[in-house]
């Protein structure tokens, strides 16, 4: 391809689409620690305490919960940053999709729940996806006959 197009070798990829990439000769590790830190700083939570679960126990989210309303712009910004994390962090997909239902009428309770998700993400900041190379790779799949 170098004969046909003007190309440069930039070396191993280290950062792509808000995702950090560490490569060795036999593995690739993908994670989003830098993106998470930037968002925590953006929302004033860079020194927050991490938690082990992405949702508070016993809290019921609803549209009209009687809590004080908050700024839609800040709320939507948090939701969109969490949605972007969902593409690579499947452990928060359900709670973010549940939480995103309240983007038009956010209250203090909704904002509190969003910050709980951010604290969980901070606690799992080094989680990622490992790809390993193997000499004896077998492709196994399942298909339903229906």
How do residues 88-120 score in pLDDT, each as one tens digit? Answer: 788 888 888 888 888 887 888 888 888 999 999
Residue 32, Cβ density class (10 Å: 0-12 exposed, 13-18 middle, ≥19 buried): buried
Q: What is the tally of helices (H) and strands (E) in the chain?
A: 4, 4
This model's pTM is above 0.85: no
Distances in Å between the Cα of 73 and the Cα atoms of 42, 48, 65 are 13, 22, 20
Tell me which range, 29-38, 94-103, 137-146, is most confidently predicted by mean pLDDT.
29-38
The model's pLDDT over 45-67, given as tens digits with 9 standing for 90+, comes to 988 999 988 887 776 677 777 77
């Amino acid at each position: 391809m170098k004969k046909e197009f003007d190309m440069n070798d930039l070396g191993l990829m280290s950062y792509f689409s808000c995702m950090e990439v560490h490569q060795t000769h036999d593995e690739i590790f993908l994670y989003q620690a830098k993106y998470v830190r930037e968002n925590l700083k953006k929302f004033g939570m860079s020194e927050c305490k991490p938690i082990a679960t992405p949702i508070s126990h016993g809290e019921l989210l609803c549209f009209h919960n009687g809590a004080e309303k908050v700024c839609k712009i800040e709320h939507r910004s948090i939701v969109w940053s969490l949605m972007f994390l969902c593409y690579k962090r499947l452990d928060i997909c359900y709670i973010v999709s549940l939480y995103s239902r309240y983007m038009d009428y956010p209250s203090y309770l909704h904002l509190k729940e969003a910050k709980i998700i951010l604290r969980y993400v901070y606690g799992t900041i080094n989680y990622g996806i490992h790809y390993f190379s193997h000499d004896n790779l077998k492709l196994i799949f399942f298909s339903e006959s229906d």
